[in-house]
């Protein structure tokens, strides 16, 4: 299976191809030129016709910033693959932009996640791979086979390998994430606590009010969530846990968006370590932020379709 990369995350594509070559030595990256016209429209040109015509192809693209631009680019690439005669197209979306808009809060709003799912379902895509969505019901928005993967086992392996589980408790950063955090705590065989947190939906400001379910004093706190948006929750939760006597605060989330100067928010917070996946590429680096690679997970998931 050959892989084509959108603009969002070429490093992850390179890692994925390296993993795929273990079982498929012929796997390679399809040469593609992506440009912009002067009027800001995207233009794509797939150069490797022989790697596409009659072949199974995988396209990887995160719907990360610039979100709308990356979505349109994905649709253009899918159309180009169809016109070149690809046998079928598998689409990996490591981060699905608009997935947080999965319901209507006020009359007159759109269910944006459903709109994106419809766009993909009505294109020349045979199947979609998603990972750790905020709402696990979102795969049901698609009308084509959709596989919802999880990075939990990768995070468990990282914590064990780096001896970060000693004298630790798992923390849910809010009541809404309790089920997700409980699953993770059970994998690690660690106690589970949760934080009472609120968000002002006008300003986006997060406030962590209290810790429930046990003591964290003298212990290490492993906070488990699905996504870090601006870093406000990281800062508030770390501050509360340190006031409660936590030795070390480790915040784990599959997706690190870090918008609105989010990396600086993390750097200036009391969190000791943030662990995310590489679902979203960032040029700016931080000594506090570690990215766990997803390539092996996606390669394993593609094995049945090679």
Catalytic residue IDs: 197
CA dist 65 and 81 (Å) reads 24
Cα–Cα distances in Å, from 250 out to 98, 104, 138, 246, 256? 27, 33, 28, 10, 14
- Residue 300: how many CB atoms within 10 A of its CB? 13
Task: Please give the sequence-ordered ranges of beta strands (E in DSSP) within 179-279, or none if there are none.
Answer: 192-199, 206-212, 220-228, 248-256, 273-277
CA angle 166, 275, 194 (to 5 degrees): 65
**Cβ-count burial 56-66 (b if 16+ within 10 Å, e if not):** bbbbbbbbbbe
C-alpha dihedral sign at 140, 142, 147, 152:
negative
Tokens of 103: 């319901």
CA dihedral sign of residues 23, 24, 28, 29? negative
């Amino acid at each position: 299976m050959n892989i084509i990369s959108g603009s969002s995350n070429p490093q992850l594509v390179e890692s994925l191809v390296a993993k795929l070559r273990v079982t498929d030595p012929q796997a390679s990256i399809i040469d593609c030129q992506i440009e912009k016209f002067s009027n800001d429209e995207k233009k794509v040109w797939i150069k490797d016709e022989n790697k596409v015509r009659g072949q199974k192809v995988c396209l990887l693209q995160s719907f990360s910033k610039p979100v709308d631009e990356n979505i349109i680019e994905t649709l253009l690439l899918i159309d180009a693959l169809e016109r070149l005669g690809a046998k079928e197209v598998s689409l990996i979306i490591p981060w699905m932009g608009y997935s947080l808009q999965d319901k209507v809060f006020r009359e007159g709003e759109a269910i944006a996640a459903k709109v994106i799912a419809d766009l993909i379902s009505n294109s020349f895509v045979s199947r979609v791979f998603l990972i750790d969505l905020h709402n696990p019901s979102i795969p049901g928005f698609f009308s084509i086979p959709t596989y919802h993967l999880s990075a939990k086992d990768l995070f468990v392996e990282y914590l064990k390998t780096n001896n970060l589980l000693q004298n630790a408790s798992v923390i849910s950063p809010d009541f809404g994430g309790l089920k997700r955090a409980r699953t993770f705590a059970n994998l690690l065989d660690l106690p589970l606590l949760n934080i009472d947190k609120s968000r002002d939906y006008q300003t986006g400001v997060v406030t962590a009010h209290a810790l429930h379910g046990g003591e964290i004093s003298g212990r290490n706190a492993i906070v488990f969530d699905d996504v870090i948006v601006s870093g406000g929750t990281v800062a508030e939760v770390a501050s509360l846990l340190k006031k409660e006597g936590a030795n070390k605060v480790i915040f784990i989330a599959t997706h690190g968006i870090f918008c609105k100067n989010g990396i600086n928010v993390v750097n200036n917070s009391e969190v000791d370590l943030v662990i995310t996946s590489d679902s979203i590429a960032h040029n700016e680096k931080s000594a506090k932020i570690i990215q766990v690679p997803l390539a092996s997970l996606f390669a394993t998931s593609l094995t049945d379709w090679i």
